[in-house]
Amino acid sequence: MFREFCTIHRGTATGHGTTVIGDENLFMAYAHVAHDCTIGNRTVFANGASLAGHCVVEDDVILGGYAAVRQFLKIGRYAFVGAFSGMNRDVLPFLWSSSERDVKAYKVNAVGLERKGFSKERVAALQKAYRVLHKHRHDRSAMLAGLEAIAATSDDVRFLRDFIVTSKEGIHGA
């Protein structure tokens, strides 16, 4: 659903040539999607939320009002980006992130995940992973080693670890 005054730009010849938007998304008033972006399914772009070019937004993401995402960034699935936040690095999946006061990934998006049908065990595994992320935020190798232990029993944590490993732009809040 596209509400009032949304802007969606088509792909460019110098980009990958397409802007792709999945199903069951909501773009509130004045939301903006620039050229060559890929947006998954069931996302919400609150009023004025904006993507610069070449961004990827995975499934079930919520961008708060007037959130701004720099070009070439990736927003991981089930992420929640707070209102008035400027994102200048990739946003981790499953987490609640903001730059309202400082650039930080604050916590697991537990309420949003439970609304999407995640079991308490799945949320608990992600919360355990978040504690590892926070504890080792200045030591990438220790962070990945800690996540590896949890990822052995959790597909969600494995996805989170893989997202970190493949990030090209750095991780928001790390």
Which residues are tagged catalytic? 35-36, 53
Greatest Cα pair distance in the chain: 47
Q: How far apart are CA 114 and CA 136, in angstroms?
A: 26
Q: How far apart are CA 102 and CA 119, in angstroms?
A: 31
SS3 at position 80: strand
The answer to whether the beta carbons of residues 98 and 67 sit under 8 Å apart is no
Q: How many CA atoms lie within 13 A of 39 on its CB side?
A: 29
8 alpha carbon, distance to own chain's centre? 19
Q: For residue 10, what are the CA distances in angstroms to 21, 35, 53, 133?
A: 11, 5, 10, 37
